């Protein structure tokens, strides 16, 4: 590739969370971008419109706690680096306890308006069939888990590797006014107050033991969406299992998972402890729609209506959207990508978002953010120092580009799997945190102190990477 770097725009294929963030980072740096998005010219199994950064599953960006949660720390780091996705999320948040959840339509419109209004971004509404042409030069592929078949085939032909796939299921959305609040109630778990919230941000529907047992039986016996032959051996991602798949793992699985009753008290019957509780989270700014938390499903539409209306409080539920299922595809990134997300077989191509093997909205956008920064630095002939592995961004990229244990046996299934950001991806602390007077900490107190020490270390190391002081980073 000839390198007239400053005159060639950087091309991006895909206008989801990762592609939109990459485009924004590149354009804000003063470099031109051509953003290719096939919607609405060609749709996908999960998207409904043509807006950039459309959310197709949950409307939650998960915990916003930057001191005790890895994804909350990732939020903070992205805000520090000028993330468009976090800016739009903050502007369109809805109450969700300790989580950052958004009005999905307002959020997507805000991202779209920012992209369309940037003078350095040119938008091309077309499907890129096969691999991008060499003449484009530096290109970021951010086509996500629903990559068009022709492009996926081009990647396979270039790398000689088959991409693995998993299923990602979508939870139903219920009209708020169809929920019986004589049985349900508002409360966040442990009354926790999050961004834009009050501590009473979820609708809770309780079940006694008999109701729960019948519900589990109905889930397991219900009619499911059939699989095509090529889908039959595709594994699920454990972070987004269909609820009926969790139920099949054992009758107690759900009441210790998304239907756990801890931290909640039914004001209609405060002396009785529920066996299980279904939670619904606000899905739009008006508060007229609520999604069923953890209820991703592959039940048929008719079965969803029948089974979910057995939940106390949802007997007359009206569904704005029923659950669904789509196939996700991702690369064997540790083998195929270098430390700056370039394809080793063709370094002019970078990858970003879920196709790299990260999982989650925030993680996808974070990888897009860094792919954009890597591409700009390379175009300018600059050396961008590797992100510290102690930061959330660095830990996530480390996982994608080699932070897994490879299978040692010849012919064994490859071990790389999609992953949300979590403290297990971070290097361990040099010293265990101590209490006052050097007191050794135990139990929950130790866990809280450890997370705080890891997030403090991350902020300091990101500050050093950026050349700022820690206090300035914290303020940003």
Q: What is the pLDDT of residue 324?
A: 79
pLDDT tens by residue, 282-328: 987 778 889 999 998 989 999 999 999 999 999 999 998 888 776 77
**Strand order of the sheet with strand 342-343?**
121-125, 33-37, 10-13, 139-141, 346-351, 342-343
How far is 337 from 165, CA to CA, in rounded Å?
18
pLDDT tens by residue, 54-107: 998 789 999 999 999 999 999 999 999 999 999 999 999 999 999 999 999 999
pLDDT tens by residue, 407-447: 444 444 445 777 789 888 888 899 888 887 778 888 888 88
Q: What is the pLDDT of residue 168?
A: 63
Q: Which of 43-52, 119-128, 346-355 has the lowest mean pLDDT?
A: 43-52
Residues of the chain with pLDDT > 90, as a percent, come to 61
How far is 257 from 466, CA to CA, in rounded Å?
39
Of all helices (H) and strands (E), which one includes residue 329?
Answer: strand 324-330
State the Cα torsion 327-242-245-409 to the nearest 10°: 40
**Is the confidence at residue 121, as pLDDT, over 70?**
yes
- Angstrom CA distances, 267 to 205, 206, 270, stand at 12, 11, 5
pLDDT tens by residue, 22-43: 999 999 999 999 999 986 555 5
How far is 59 from 78, CA to CA, in rounded Å?
18
Q: Which pTM was predicted?
A: 0.80
Contact 337, 257 (CB under 8 A): no
pLDDT tens by residue, 187-213: 999 998 877 678 889 999 999 999 999
Q: What is the pLDDT of residue 248?
A: 94
Q: What is the pLDDT of residue 451?
A: 94
**Is the confidence at residue 45, as pLDDT, over 70?**
no
pLDDT tens by residue, 334-377: 889 999 999 999 999 999 999 998 888 999 999 999 999 999 99
**Mean pLDDT computed over every residue of the chain:** 87
For residue 40, say if its preceding peptide bond is cis, omega within 30 degrees of 0: yes
Q: Can you read off the two tokens belonging to residue 455?
A: 């997030």
The residue among 137 and 225 whose pLDDT is bigger is: 137
């Amino acid at each position: 590739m000839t390198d007239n770097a400053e005159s060639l725009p950087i091309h991006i294929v895909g206008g989801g969370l990762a592609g939109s963030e990459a485009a924004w980072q590149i354009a804000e740096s003063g470099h031109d971008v051509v953003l290719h998005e096939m919607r609405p010219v060609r749709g996908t199994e999960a998207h409904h419109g043509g807006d950039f950064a459309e959310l197709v599953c949950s409307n939650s960006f998960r915990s916003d706690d930057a001191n005790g949660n890895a994804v909350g720390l990732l939020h903070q780091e992205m805000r520090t680096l000028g993330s468009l996705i976090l800016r739009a999320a903050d502007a369109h948040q809805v109450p969700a306890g300790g989580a950052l959840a958004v009005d999905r339509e307002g959020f997507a419109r805000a991202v779209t308006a920012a992209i369309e209004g940037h003078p350095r971004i040119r938008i091309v509404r077309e499907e890129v069939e096969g691999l991008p042409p060499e003449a484009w030069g530096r290109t970021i592929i951010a086509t996500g888990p629903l990559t068009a078949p022709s492009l996926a085939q081009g990647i396979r032909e270039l790398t000689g590797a088959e991409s693995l796939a998993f299923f990602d299921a979508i939870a139903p959305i219920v009209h708020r006014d169809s929920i019986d609040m004589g049985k349900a109630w508002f409360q966040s778990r442990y009354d926790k107050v999050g961004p834009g919230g009050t501590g009473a941000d979820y609708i809770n529907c309780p079940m006694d033991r008999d109701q729960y047992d019948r519900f589990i039986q109905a889930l397991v016996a219900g009619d499911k969406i059939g699989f095509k032959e090529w889908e039959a051996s595709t594994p699920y991602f454990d972070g987004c299992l269909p609820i009926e798949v969790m139920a099949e793992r054992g009758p107690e699985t759900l009441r210790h998972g998304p239907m756990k009753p801890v931290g909640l008290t039914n004001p209609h019957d405060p002396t009785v402890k529920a066996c299980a509780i279904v939670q619904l989270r606000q899905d739009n700014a008006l508060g007229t729609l609520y999604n069923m938390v953890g209820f991703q499903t592959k039940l048929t539409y008719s079965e969803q209506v029948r089974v979910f209306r057995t939940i106390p409080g949802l007997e007359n539920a009206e569904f704005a959207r029923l659950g669904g299922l789509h196939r996700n595809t991702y690369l064997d990134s540790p083998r195929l990508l270098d430390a700056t997300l370039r394809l080793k077989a063709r370094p002019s191509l970078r990858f970003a978002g879920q196709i790299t093997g990260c999982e989650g909205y925030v993680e996808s956008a974070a990888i897009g953010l860094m792919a954009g920064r890597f591409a700009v630095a390379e175009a300018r002939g600059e050396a961008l120092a590797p992100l510290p592995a102690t930061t959330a961004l660095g830990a996530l990229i480390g996982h994608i580009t080699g932070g897994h244990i490879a299978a040692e046996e010849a012919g064994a299934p490859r071990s790389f799997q999609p992953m949300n950001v979590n403290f297990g991806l971070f290097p361990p602390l040099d010293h265990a945190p101590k209490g006052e007077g050097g007191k050794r900490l135990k139990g929950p107190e130790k866990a809280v102190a450890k997370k705080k020490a890891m997030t403090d270390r991350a902020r300091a190391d990101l500050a050093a990477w950026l050349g700022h002081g820690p206090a300035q980073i914290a303020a940003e």
